[in-house]
Structure 1
Amino acid sequence: MNPITIFKQTHLSNLFFQVLAGVAFTFLAGYFVPAVGAIAEILFFGFVVIFGIDLVLIFSKKEAVSGKRFVPKRLSNGDENIIRLQISNRYNFGIRAEIVDEIPHQFQIRDFSIPADLKANETQEFTYELRPTERGEYDFGNINVFANTAIGFIKRKISTHASQMVPVYPSFIQMRKFEMYAISNRLTDVGIKKIRRVGHTMEFDQIKEYVRGDDVRSINWKATARANDLMVNQYQDERSQNVINVIDTGRVMKMPFEGLHLLDYAINTSLVISNIALIKDDKAGLVTFSNNDSVVVKPEKKRTHIQRIQEALYKVDTNFLESDYERLVVSLKKHVNQRSLVLLYTNFETFSSMERQLPYLQRIARDHLLVTIFFENTEMTKLLHKEASTIGQIYTKTIAEKFTYEKKQIVKALNQHGIQTILTPPKELSVNAINKYLELKAHGLI
């Protein structure tokens, strides 16, 4: 093997320096006690021989260790994604190894390593999880293995070229989770509350047993007499309704909570809602707005339409400017001709910020069923539950209470103007948005 390569791959372990220090200390003692000096020479000779044996063993094979990385074609934003590593030991003896995968810089993990013991000619698989918090391209580097024999004086760095780029998309893991429950009508299993149906369409579906909360007007008395139990007619929801997710991409959506920006919470939920709407045979669409450019995906009913929405959401980004709600009104009038359920993801921190946009929200609500979704500041909520013991803490808690009260006033004011609202913690956004969608369908409002 090339001496330069050997030099580059050789890393002396802590054990090497500890033993060398011990030999040096023995030589120092031999300066004062001559008998110890002879022992020091024997120890040094043995140390050199063992070091040579270790060097020969660890470099006895050119391609001694190899590695493979198995990464999904795309990662899911905000979720734990499983990465697999396959490491093969081609030595004829067992080794201890430290596996260092060069993970993308976005994670800022600088102490990543996996310890392992590999037997002779053995292949092992290792897994770890990564949770991205930004959409975009993530570059993985090489797989590095620091291998050493049982002697442990030398660590040989063996690198496997494994560079690859993986895109991070809006949370398709969350989308699939809710899709599974929506298909099997088990959304209540993941915290979606059961909505009592107030009215129904005239499209008959099936006869089923009466359960508490069913509309008594739907009781089928003939079927009840035959079954000797209360039976009711079940009707299908109205279909082919427009469900438009409208996302504010202005500066108010830049605020981070638990690693994710509000924009990413909105994007992940928009993907979930769009997918469930398509499963329910509704049409799903997407509109983004800020102060200049906007993205519009017109509502369609095809199941493949979710791919277009996902690609559009992947490219959405926010800026530090205030959003133009008048531009949103114009965009909806231009691209959405049918009365639709409009889920508007934005954020109002103060009552005055909502008042400035209220005329535009009222204009949208005249043409569509508007649901304004904005976020609780969970950090302020934590402050409210802390006990204040100093003047500074009292001031801070008072300000937090003021902002929390303003949020409640915003909800009240919007409801008084006939605008539906959702005030939610960021982590509970998907569940609360699905609840609202199902509730409005159950009430026949869309």
Structure 2
Amino acid sequence: MWTKKGWLYLAMGISLAFLALVVRSTALMVLSVLLLATILVTQFFSRLGKIASMRQLSSEKIFEDGIITVDLALVNKGGRTGFLEIRDKLPQQIQIEEGTNYLIIDLKPNESLRMKYKIKGPIRGIYEFGPVSLRAQDVFNIFYKELELELVDNVTVFPLVYDIKDLPIRSRTPKLFPGASKVKQPGPGSEFFLIRNYVPGDPFKNINWKAFARTGELLVNEKEREAVSDIVIMLDARATAATGTIGHNALIYGSRAAATLTSFFIKRRDSVALIVYSDRLLSIKPSQGSKQLYEILTALAGAEPAGDLPFKGVVEVSSPYMPRRSPVIIISNLDGDPSVVDAISELRTLEFDVV
């Protein structure tokens, strides 16, 4: 491809040739031929041979404001490159914290190069790193050649998760599995609930011997049942959620709120479901554990503002599959959706606790 300098030389050569014909000057014609011949020969000296590449990332998943170390290795398996520009292409939202992703170098045959730099992901999302762009010029800077090395990696930036101590949000019909939610019923647990009379079959370890010494009657300690709750989180990702700047809008803050709540409930051993609605409906079934946490975090990282699904339609489609009488946490700016009131009324009618 031509550089600006190359186009200038070509214009000069043609102009000299035209001027030589007008004034019938042999010297100008010879100069024009030499200039045009130089341009013609030079295009064969812009070299960009075979270059192998490999990129290593210190992590492919981070939270917002997390740091990743990028290590790009290049090996010249062809001839000498001469003036070579190297750029490791990064998404616009990614910030370079240390080092550089751009370098100018002369690579000799079989010479290797390593570019190491650190980046920060300030905003949640799923980002594509690459390809690697190479550009070589001839010695006179008349022509250049470009090559893209198809070296692509994906990095997931999860929304920030804040630390919260406790939330009084529990299901009215908890599952009878060990969890961290106290349900004001006797059963398996860790905290004292009440004392009752001994019944044959009660474990001896539950007998309150101090009470027996005082009263002469066998009394048993009961613990407060700790059970699992089903929690449903609904996130509004319609186009209106993008109102604001890239780093300050309803979807960014809503994603962080959903991530924080999910982390809290998963740590409490609750079962969490996620529904994200935009121009389509994304639903993750209720489940527990770290696998569920990372599945929800990945969905939140990839949520893009689009469309305008009415909330009432989302409720009508989703409610048959939601755990009955469970808390439903709605995260939305409620902007531009007249169906919200009817949708919340329908959830209340179906005995969901709307938060």
Q: Please indicate the TM-score interval, normalised by the length of the shorter structure.
A: 0.5 to 0.7
Distance 1:38 1:310, change over 3 A: same
**205, 209, 234: which one pairs with 1:247?**
234
CA deviation vs aligned residue, 1:345-384 (integer Å, no higher than 9, x gap)? 13423796554345346558x764x43xxxxxxxxxxxxx
1:157 aligns with 2:146: yes
Q: Which runs of 5+ in 1 are unaligned?
A: 1-10, 108-113, 186-201, 204-237, 372-446
Contact 2:86 2:134 in 1 (8 A): yes
Contact 2:234 2:275 in 1 (8 A): yes
Counterparts in 2 of 1:127-206, with a 5 A limit?
Answer: 143-162=132-151, 164=152, 166=154, 171-172=157-158, 174-175=160-161, 178=162, 182=163
Counterparts in 2 of 1:435-446, with a 5 A limit?
Answer: none
Q: Whose strand fraction is larger, Structure 1's or Structure 2's?
A: 2
Q: Which runs of 5+ in 2 are unaligned?
A: 95-100, 166-189, 192-224
**296, 317, 322: which one pairs with 1:309?**
296
AA at the equivalent of 1:349: D
AA at the equivalent of 1:343: I
Residue number in structure 2 paired with 1:19: 9
AA at the equivalent of 1:123: L
Contact 1:90 1:120 in 2 (8 A): no
State the TM-score, normalized to the length of structure 2.
Answer: 0.54
1:275 aligns with 2:245: no
Contact 2:49 2:81 in 1 (8 A): no
Residue number in structure 2 paired with 1:431: none
1:359 aligns with 2:349: no
Distance 1:139 1:250, change over 3 A: closer
CA RMSD of aligned residues (A): 5.4
Contact 1:253 1:346 in 2 (8 A): no
CA deviation vs aligned residue, 1:1-49 (integer Å, no higher than 9, x gap)? xxxxxxxxxx232222212322333344445666x64155146426635
User: 1:152: Cα distance to partner?
Assistant: 1.7
User: 1:135: Cα distance to partner?
Assistant: 6.7
- Secondary structure of 2:140 counterpart: coil
Identity over aligned pairs, percent: 13
CA deviation vs aligned residue, 1:137-170 (integer Å, no higher than 9, x gap)? x7777544220133222212334343x574x75x
CA deviation vs aligned residue, 1:54-84 (integer Å, no higher than 9, x gap)? 445434x742x44444568857798899776
Distance 1:87 1:239, change over 3 A: farther
- Secondary structure of 1:45 counterpart: helix
Counterparts in 2 of 1:73-88, with a 5 A limit?
Answer: 85-88=72-75
Distance 1:28 1:124, change over 3 A: farther
> Partners of 2:16 and 2:333 in 1: how far apart?
71
**43, 46, 51: which one pairs with 1:58?**
46
> Partners of 1:149 and 1:252 in 2: how far apart?
48
Residue number in structure 2 paired with 1:405: none
Residue number in structure 2 paired with 1:258: 245
Distance 1:134 1:72, change over 3 A: same
Residue number in structure 2 paired with 1:96: 83
Distance 1:289 1:303, change over 3 A: closer
**Larger Rg, first or second structure (1 or 2):** 2
**104, 107, 130: which one pairs with 1:117?**
104
User: 1:131: Cα distance to partner?
Assistant: 7.5
User: 1:247: Cα distance to partner?
Assistant: 0.8
> Partners of 1:92 and 1:290 in 2: how far apart?
54
AA at the equivalent of 2:294: Q
When the two structures are aligned, how many residues end up with a matched partner?
A: 284
User: 1:306: Cα distance to partner?
Assistant: 1.4
Q: Whose helix fraction is larger, Structure 1's or Structure 2's?
A: 1
AA at the equivalent of 1:244: I
> Partners of 1:120 and 1:142 in 2: how far apart?
19
- Secondary structure of 1:247 counterpart: strand
- Secondary structure of 1:295 counterpart: strand
